[in-house]
Chain A
Amino acid sequence: MLEQIKQWIEHRRGGKIGSHDPGNLPNPKTPGEQLLTDCRLIVLDLETTGLNPSKDEVIAIGAVAIRGGIIHLGDQFDLILRRPELDIRETVLIHGIGPEALTQGHEIEDALLYLLEWMNGDPILAYHSAFDQKFLEKTLKAQLGYTQPHTWMDVADLMPAFFPNTKTGGKGLDNWADYFGLEVSERHHAASDALATAELTLVALNKARSEGVKTLKGLYDKLHYHRRLQNMHRF
């Protein structure tokens, strides 16, 4: 029985449990001339105990991978972390992860190592990525002492960058999801939000291709150009 469970966990993670090599983790990639039609992108969403990175904690990680402009559901990440010590009273209603789930979650260190291996150093996209980036970096540093900088891109910028005059009625994930008629199976579930974000990314990548943006660097530059434009307008 135990053997079966172990096998199943291995199967789900696509890697061997407890065999991480903390000293030999994949290196983060920088946006270069990789073709968008080839490269792998990570689309990630975290559920946390609150909004303040200095005092709140990560409790669930959901992520899907886009390869060559396609989401492959066999290549995804969906874990609740084992953090029975956390106070989740304030947010339990949002993410629906109760104390019991946190007790039965995955060993945090193990889960984070697995995440780093699974991400394979590929660029990370998230909706309002600054939030996820702060939380993930803080957690990686606290738990593993890991400080390598990854490439992050914000889908909240990506969408208006490619669909500049779109009336979505707001800047949130829900606004864009509604605009493109996406059905989010379970809002505020990390994996489900990650999938919705990834679907929006597919829409943006399709537009990128039709606008002649071919490489990861091209995408990254477009994003930064949009950012600068936004900042200029602000003054």
Chain B
Amino acid sequence: MASAHQENDRPQNIRAIMTFLREHAPFSSMDDSHLAHFAENASIQFYADGDIVLSPDQDVVKRFYVVKQGRIRGERHNDKEDRTETTFEISQGECFPLAAMIGERPTRTLHRADGDTFCLSIGQTAFVTLFAESEPFRDFCLRGVSSLLDQVNRRIQSSAMASIGSSTSLDTPLERYALRNPIVCSPDLPVRKAVARMHENNVGSIIVTDENRIPTGIFTLRDLRTMIAEGTGPLDTPIQQVMTKNPCCLPSHADAFEAAMLMAEHHFAHLCVIDDDRKLIGVVSERDLFSLQRVDLVNLARTIGTATHLRTLVSLRTDVSRLVDAMLAHGADSGQVVKIITTLNDVTVRRVLELNIKKNDPGIPFTWLTFGSEGRQEQTLLTDQDNGILFQTPEGMTAEQVREKLLPFARKVNDELAECGFTLCKGNIMASNPKLCLSDKEWDDWFIRFIDASTPQNLVYSSIFLDMRAIYGPTEPLNDLLDKILTRIRKNALFQKMLAGNAFQRKPPLTMFRNFRYISEGNKHSLDLKRQGLAPFVEAVRVFALANGVETANTLERMDELAKKGVFDPKDANAWKEGYSLIQAIRMRAHQEMLAKGEELTNYIDPDDLNPLDRRILRESFRQAQRLQQKLEVTYQL
């Protein structure tokens, strides 16, 4: 009876208000009885566009408001420039004023209705009751907006936890493992040749398959040891006579737990993974299963850095993705994670270069450059190659002759990087492109033309070539080059202005009414988090950084430097860093989810798929990008 009355006998309008509140933080985590208390004590007020809701001229704030419909904007007068600035916007489901309500003081910001707006509000008594009785409500009020960041991080953590937690590592279907492309041979191959093949590929086992690729046996190093120690036969014996027949097989949809149990039962270290036709797909080793639980950065970096085969590098890429899961789960922020991904990518690139030099040294020292997001150390799992070569022409050679030697080498490196998962650059911004394999003199000329000519095409490339870093080879040649470029840009006001104008073109995806503006083509309700979300920050920050001689390419570090130099107000810089990081965090979480579902990674998301809190965060982050662009607009009088 009691519960029935609570659910159904609440008046319709109270239930409706509760349903509305439940859609928004902090109400979404509050008890129903507390929501009912809010609703029963609430008032509804209407404000026409431009009406003042709260003003610093009024007395101590006595009511706590939630926007039911419409929007409130906070206004602050900028005395220096004598104009009114919008400092914040409060949209549907959001609360105000927090600080003034808790501090029992008048508000310091003028709150004005932005369009026709309805607000729900409760008086001080109800507020105090909820504050005392509801922990989520209290937490929210005390931590205010900063808790938004925490909440997002916590959510990212919990979903990442779910994919690496103790239970999951063994729940994972085998098909999600790094199924090494198995080394196979036919039954009649002599043992000597089979072992040579294992050695070549640096593996401890070989699968013997019939003509239909169905596994009939397995031969491991342990079998070889036994064979030699016991003298069971010469090394010319066909492998089928010494292999372990009928190897353990599991279908790809079996999970890691089944595999572990089977291995423990039979003391096997390897299992064949087969498809529905019993054809071999891959091999899972004991090490694969148990390494899953301990992915650590140092170890992973060392393993990548000492890998002796491209094959190993390729398979280690899955570990990188697993590491990202683990880092997110342990509360690393998106800025740290992208840097770590970049670090591991750097190690991989370096190792690919080293292995190629070992095999086929072009004989000329060079600096391997990376551009764009890798240059900014902002790579995520979805990444393509943007690289180039900088060399100093040895005496007695022409740049053209050097290129002849370096280009085939670069081609091979680009291809092998592609195998490691760094997609080939569609725009051919790669070291194997003769236009990007240049001497120091040529690069310098190239940038002079780039800066002085300022064609629209050049401006498109600014996001790539003006974020540059050396990841292999001597760094001084690049530092010298960068010095010259920065000096040239600082002196060239026209180029700065064009750069600013270009950055200003990339508008954050918000409509005039602060709704999401979807990309027009194709998917109707999708936002491109990279191009529409991050790019406005990256591009605007780059303009300020280059104009003010900031050398680092990383967007967050650039913002720090700009705040230090007094170009950005420290508070603004923080808000922008937070906005940028939040979009990045939402993007990375989307990537992890796509990866878990086995989908191809994209930067598109449908905001309708996000929960209301994330939608709100995304909107606020986009708004911060708009503010940053306003600064660009004012500074460069666009």
Contact = CB atoms under 8 A, between A and B. Distances in A.
Given A62-B12, A186-B12, A186-B16, A70 B116 contact: no
Nearest to A179: B116
Given A76-B11, A78-B12, A181 B69 contact: yes
B397 to A, nearest CB: 72
Nearest to B46: A202
B12 A70 contact: no
A177 to B, nearest CB: 11
B13 A192 contact: yes
A191 B47 contact: no
A76 B44 CA distance: 13
Interface stretch (B34-42, B163-171, B498-506, B610-618): B34-42
B39 A181 contact: no
B69 to A, nearest CB: 6
A134 interface: no
Nearest to A210: B48
A203 B12 contact: no
B69 A72 contact: no
The residue among A4, A73, A189 with the most chain B CB atoms within 10 A of its own CB is A73
B17 interface: yes
B43 interface: yes
A78 B45 contact: no
A206 B13 contact: no
Nearest to B40: A74
Interface string A1-20: 10011001000100000000
| Chain B, interface SS category | mixed
Nearest to B39: A73
B77 to A, nearest CB: 24
A108 interface: no
A73 B12 contact: no
Contacts of B70: 181
B46 A73 contact: no
A74 B38 CA distance: 10
Contact count band on A: 20 to 34
Contacts of A206: 46-48, 51
Interface in B53-109: 69-70
B44 A202 contact: yes
Contacts of B19: 185
A125 interface: no
A180 to B, nearest CB: 6
A203 B44 CA distance: 11
B8 to A, nearest CB: 10
B118 interface: yes
Contact of A202 (B12, B17, B45): B45
A191 B48 CA distance: 24
A6 to B, nearest CB: 12
Contacts of A69: 45-46
B5 A191 contact: no
Contacts of A205: 46
Contacts of A180: 116
A73 B118 contact: no
Contacts of B47: 206
A29 interface: no
Contacts of A192: 12-13, 16
Contacts of A195: 13, 16, 44
The residue among B2, B40, B118 with the most chain A CB atoms within 10 A of its own CB is B118
B605 interface: no
A74 B48 CA distance: 24
B51 to A, nearest CB: 7
A71 B39 CA distance: 12
B1 interface: yes
B40 A185 contact: no
A203 B2 CA distance: 38
A5 B4 CA distance: 12
Nearest to A64: B13
Contacts of B198: none
Nearest to A62: B12
Interface in A132-160: none
A180 B68 CA distance: 13
A74 B40 CA distance: 5
A72 B45 CA distance: 9
A182 interface: yes
Nearest to B38: A73
B69 A1 contact: no
B457 to A, nearest CB: 44
Contacts of A72: 43
B49 to A, nearest CB: 10
A73 B116 contact: no
Contacts of A62: 12-13
Contacts of A117: none
B13 A70 contact: no
Contacts of B16: 185-186, 192, 195
A168 to B, nearest CB: 14
A71 B12 contact: no
Given A182-B69, A199-B44, A78 B11 contact: yes
Interface string A45-76: 00000000000000000101000011111101
Contact of A191 (B2, B12, B20): B12
A187 to B, nearest CB: 11
Interface string B102-126: 0000000000000010100000000
Given A74-B40, A74-B41, A199 B12 contact: no
B471 interface: no
Contacts of B12: 62, 78, 185-186, 189, 191-192
Contacts of B46: 69, 199, 202-203, 205-206
Nearest to A4: B2
Given A71-B43, A73-B39, A182-B69, A199 B118 contact: yes
Given A78-B11, A185-B13, A185-B19, A73 B42 contact: yes
Contact of B17 (A5, A73, A199): A73
Contacts of A185: 12-13, 15-16, 19-20
A28 B40 CA distance: 27
A192 B48 CA distance: 22
A171 interface: no
B14 interface: yes
Nearest to A67: B43
Contact of A73 (B1, B14, B51): B14
Contacts of B51: 206
A78 B48 CA distance: 29
A62 B16 CA distance: 14
A181 B116 contact: yes
A98 to B, nearest CB: 13
Contacts of A207: 48
B45 A73 contact: no
Given A74-B42, A185-B16, A195-B44, 16 more contacts: A73-B14, A73-B40, A73-B41, A74-B40, A74-B41, A78-B13, A181-B69, A182-B69, A183-B20, A185-B13, A191-B13, A202-B46, A202-B118, A203-B116, A205-B46, A206-B46
16 contacts: A71-B44, A74-B41, A76-B11, A76-B13, A182-B69, A182-B118, A185-B15, A185-B19, A185-B20, A189-B12, A191-B13, A195-B16, A199-B44, A203-B46, A206-B46, A206-B51
A-B residue pairs, 5 tightest by C-beta: A185-B16, A202-B46, A78-B11, A71-B44, A191-B12
